[in-house]
Chains A and B, each alone.
Chain A
Amino acid sequence: MNNLQLKREFSPLSMGKKTRQRLTTYILIGVIIFFFVIPIIRLFILSLIQDGQVTLATYVDVLGEGRTWYMLENTVWMVLGSTAISVALGMMFAWIIAYSDIRGKLLMQLFILIPFIVPSYIVTLSWTQLMSRNGPVASILDWMPFQFEPINMYSMGGMIFVLGLSHFPLVYLFTVGVLRRIPRDLEWIARSSGAKRRQVFLRITMPLALPGLASGGLIAFIANLDNFGIPAFLGIPANIPVLSTAIYQEVVGFGPSAFSRAATLSVILGLIALGGTLIQWLFVRKSKRLETVQEDHSPRYSLGRFKTVLEISLWSFLLFVTIVPVISMMRSSLIKTYGLPFKLEHLTFSHYSFVLFENDRVLGAILNSFVLATVTAIVCIIVGTTFAYMRTRKPNNLTRILEIFIGLPYALPGMVLALAMIFMWLQPIPGWNPGIYGTIFILLIAYITRFMILQVRGSITAMSQIDPSMEEAAQVFGAKATSKWKRILLPLMLPSLLSGALLVFLTSLTELTVSSLLWSSGSETIGVVIFNFEQAGYTTYSTAFSTVIVLGILLGMAVFYIFQQMWKKRVTEP
């Protein structure tokens, strides 16, 4: 048989396939650049334009004001302070969970993650209630002989504290895996070569754990810089501006050159964040060599008689930072009028019935957030998994660059992305306004572009856990694309795929930063409504609504966890 015959046999199909593949690739590149890259470029360009001319005037103006430098100084202190707290707490818990023999590690890990799962503005709200003038801490202090005041949360210290607490789980998550992957033999060899415990920690464990610790720390740094909820709830009332709240106030203030000033501040904020991401990326690249080693979950150090003492103090700390504030938030939500003492005759469920049944804005917001989060999760799971498949099966420079592009909107602070979205979707193509800005669709586009990378990462992880031979076997035994995905790939990937989607869903559901700039009447989200209640002084409503959200999230997590365990039992290989 010769080539001609072969061509007749199956060339129409394969020729068409090749052209189609190339076309798909071009479309994909175009779409990714249009949605993920161009908005950011346009934001940058806008910061350079004033009265239709390219100029650095806005930068000169903004950087020439004393207010800007005061705000930048606040930002530096806030980010450095909170990152230090995050790293210290994260490292401590990671070491204890990875190496010590304390009991109940699984439950403890769950409690460590709570401050991260609960949206940071709700954490803030609960702390302000705990420390409020008529909150539980104040009433305990009143009993005491001296004139103590509860800590004022509306301060630089308060912001640093809540930020540090909200983001230490990030450091923990990055470090604990690295610690577990350090082969125990390395420590044994050091011990048998005569090193003392302290020397083993300083000379062996620390250097090996450093990449994880550093990248966790830098992620926390970026999260602290990016956060809007905490400085908005605590810093705006106390008149302590930082970069993210300054951009927000610039935009909602609608000054004469508000947008270009906000764009300029955004470029500054974006550059700091991208610098952090770059350093983090360099660290992660270096830490690759430990990745192939299996995680070792058995304890390495016995705490002996200190065990009980340590367990009690750790649990007290965790309960104090997670449960106690939430309880005091619930307390506030049950009081008739904010400010009344907590007594039985002052208690009511009316705030709950108000937010859940009587207020259309709340119901609308729940519906909006739910729809937004669901659609975002579905779009991300389809597009993100398709991209992850390309990325893992054809790891070339093109897909690597596209992954960086997809990651940009997440690496940039949310406030910067929100502003970029406004400029982009007012007129996606100059001279054409499709009317997306001012509707719920701009929120949808913003969420999808911002959180896509979370699903891509999740799906890449899911994909890399499946040996390529699984798919090859499906092909050899005759499965075409549809049955290959339906019968083999999806069932194998589902648990990890869904945990990526759950992350996307939860983050979208309670998103505040991007929404605070992009919402419009009728397209409020959960975060926006809580923020507006709080700004208007309706503390009882904001606490009641937040309580509902916290309980909803915990319930959702529990259901998901049970489902995942059941599924894993079915498919795990020893």
Chain B
Amino acid sequence: MTTKVENVRKVFGDFEALKSVSVSIEEGEFIAILGPSGCGKTTLLRLIAGFEEPTAGSIYIDNNLVGNENHVKPPELRNIGMVFQSFALWPHMKIYDQVEFPIIHHSSTPDRIKSNRKKRMETVLKLVGLSDLSERRPNELSGGQKQRVALARAIAHEPSLLLMDEPLSSLDAELREEMRKEIQILHRKTKSTILYVTHDQGEALAMADRMVIMKDGAIEQIGTPEDIYLRPNTSFVASFVSKAILIPGSWEGSVFYPDAAPDNEWDGKCIASAFKENGTYPVRPDEWIMSKKFSGIQVVINNALYQGREIHYSATDQTGLTVNMITPISERYEIGDKVSIQKTGTKVVSVTSTTAR
């Protein structure tokens, strides 16, 4: 019961939206596709849903071929559910009718659901906490309630694949946090397979079992949130997901010496080879420590944003490189202060050993 996308390519006119993309989604898995706007993530989702036809490649749902360059199964014959970015609730229908719609109309609704429609409706409405609102119409609901209706409708017929297209992007920040939890709970309870498209790193990191990072119509990296965050494979993933900055320097085996502070030695066992090849080291904002005392990269603070829990500094070094840092509230520096910064775990080696190098 897997969903598979094999070498799928999609061209709109002379724009190549997807360049030979392959992903496979296991049953019950929560996959987040993450990328900046225009990276092709929505195109991929629409191809899987059946709204677009692939230019090349094949798509399988439940191990059944649903689309390739010659033949495309229309969306209504694919065993999917979907949550739209705009929720796409039908304004003229009561909540109950909206959620009941797929149970009645979808050809792949299992018989046990079709014959126990009322029971299923009760379960689904209770699952999303809408039992009391089922007689209302969408214009009588708040944003969060609309979101729940959209979720209930998407799972009512127990689709083998649940597609979510930036479902939280039209909610405000606080509600977004709350709905993340709800979606996670829903995923655990229903054990459904979810493909979740988003441009928000936080959402993807928090909810997904695995993440797919996309850029310019191609996949940059696939892995667990921890993998992606701590061990990015490409400089794009490092800067887009972990907000890391690339520090120039020289590699010796798995040891890195930054150009701006050659006496600092950084351990780079887990750093991907791509960085070793172009002589850089990705450092996340939370990996820096600042001091006026130790030897490190010399920078001038040019901005400080007080956040309550922590402070976000940005600073520039002699080469004009801007470094962003997140530090605990205990250390305070003023704009214009000259400080040295080190990556956590830096070993300072003697100058002689550096010259010997």
One digit per residue, 1 when the CB lies within 8 angstroms of any chain A CB and 0 when it does not, for chain B 61-74 equals 00111001011111
Interface 9-residue window, one of B76-84, B188-196, B229-237, B311-319:
B76-84
B51 in the interface (beta carbon within 8 A) = yes
Within 8 A of A (CB), among B134-164: 137-139, 153, 157, 163
Stretch at the interface among A4-12, A175-183, A205-213, A522-530: A4-12
Determine the chain A residues whose CB is within 8 A of the CB of B102 once the complex forms. Answer: 476-478
CA distance A3 to B109 in the complex (A): 26
Q: Which of A460-494 contact B (CB under 8 A)?
A: 467, 469-470, 472-480, 483, 487-488, 491-492
Residue-wise interface mask of A (6-45) relative to B, using a CB-CB cutoff of 8 A (1 in contact, 0 not):
1101110010000000000000000000000000000000
Asked if B86 and A6 sit within 8 Å, CB to CB, the answer is no
Interface pair A477/B157, CB less than 8 Å apart = yes
Contacts of B81 in A (CB 8 A): 476-477
Which of chain B's residues has its CB closest to A492's CB? Answer: B92
Measured between beta carbons, the chain A residues less than 8 angstroms from B76 are: 475-480
Give the complex CA separation of A479 and B75 in angstroms. Answer: 9
Q: Which residue of A lies closest to B165 (CB)?
A: A469
Distance in Å: Cβ of A200 to nearest Cβ of chain B = 36
Q: Cα distance A474–B81 when bound, in Å? A: 11
CA distance A246 to B86 in the complex (A): 57
Contact flags (1/0) for B105-117 with A, using CB distance below 8 Å?
1111100000000
- In contact, B91 and A571 (Cβ under 8 angstroms): yes
CB <8 Å contact, B80 and A476: yes
B294 on the interface (CB 8 Å rule)?
no
Asked whether, in the complex, the Cβ of A472 is within 8 Å of the Cβ of B88, the reply is: yes
Q: A1-B64, A473-B82 are in contact. Are A6 and B88 (CB under 8 A)?
A: no
Query: Within 8 Å of chain A (Cβ to Cβ): is B306?
Result: no
CB distance from A477 to the nearest CB of B (A): 4
**B65 close to A5 (CB less than 8 A):** yes
Interface size on A, residues (CB 8 A): 31
Say which residue of A1, A479, A483, A572 sits within 8 Å of B63 (CB atoms): A1
**Chain A residue nearest to B108 in the complex (CB):** A478
Asked if A570 lies at the interface with its beta carbon under 8 angstroms from chain B, I say yes
Is B51 a contact partner of A472 (Cβ separation < 8 A)? yes
Cα A572 to Cα B85 with chains together (Å): 20
Contact, CB under 8 Å: A6 / B105: no
Give complex CA distance A478, B106 in Å.
Answer: 4
Contact between A14 and B63, CB atoms less than 8 A apart: no
Indicate whether A574 reaches chain B with its CB closer than 8 angstroms: yes
Task: Give the residues from 104 to 130 in chain B that come closer than 8 angstroms, CB to CB, to chain A.
Answer: 105-109
A573 within 8 A of B: yes
Question: In the assembled complex, which residues on chain A have CB atoms less than 8 Å from the CB atom of B85?
Answer: 469
Instruction: Verify A570–B92 contact, CB threshold 8 A.
Output: yes
Given contacts A7-B71, A572-B139, A478 and B153 within 8 Å (CB-CB): no
**Distance in Å from the Cβ of B82 to the closest Cβ of chain A?**
4
> Is A469's CB under 8 angstroms from B92's CB?
no
Tell whether, in the assembled complex, residue B90 and residue A574 are in contact, meaning their CB atoms are under 8 Å apart: no
**Which residues in B have their C-beta under 8 angstroms from that of A487?**
101
How far, in angstroms, from A574 to B89 measured CA to CA in the complex? 13
Nearest B residue (CB) for A483: B105
List of B residues within 8 angstroms of A483 by Cβ: 105
A537 to chain B, nearest CB (A): 54
CB distance from A16 to the nearest CB of B (A): 12
Among B70, B101, B139, the residue within 8 A (CB) of A479 is: B101
> Interface of A with B (CB < 8 Å)?
1, 3, 5-7, 9-11, 14, 467, 469-470, 472-480, 483, 487-488, 491-492, 570-574
User: 12 other contacts beyond A7-B71, A476-B80, with CB at 8 A cut-off?
Assistant: A1-B64, A469-B88, A472-B51, A473-B88, A477-B81, A477-B102, A477-B157, A478-B102, A478-B108, A480-B76, A488-B90, A572-B91
30 A-B pairs with C-beta separation under 8 A: A1-B60, A1-B64, A5-B65, A6-B70, A7-B70, A14-B71, A467-B86, A469-B86, A473-B90, A473-B153, A474-B90, A474-B101, A475-B50, A475-B75, A475-B76, A476-B82, A477-B76, A477-B105, A477-B106, A478-B76, A478-B105, A478-B106, A478-B108, A478-B157, A480-B76, A492-B90, A492-B92, A570-B92, A572-B91, A573-B91
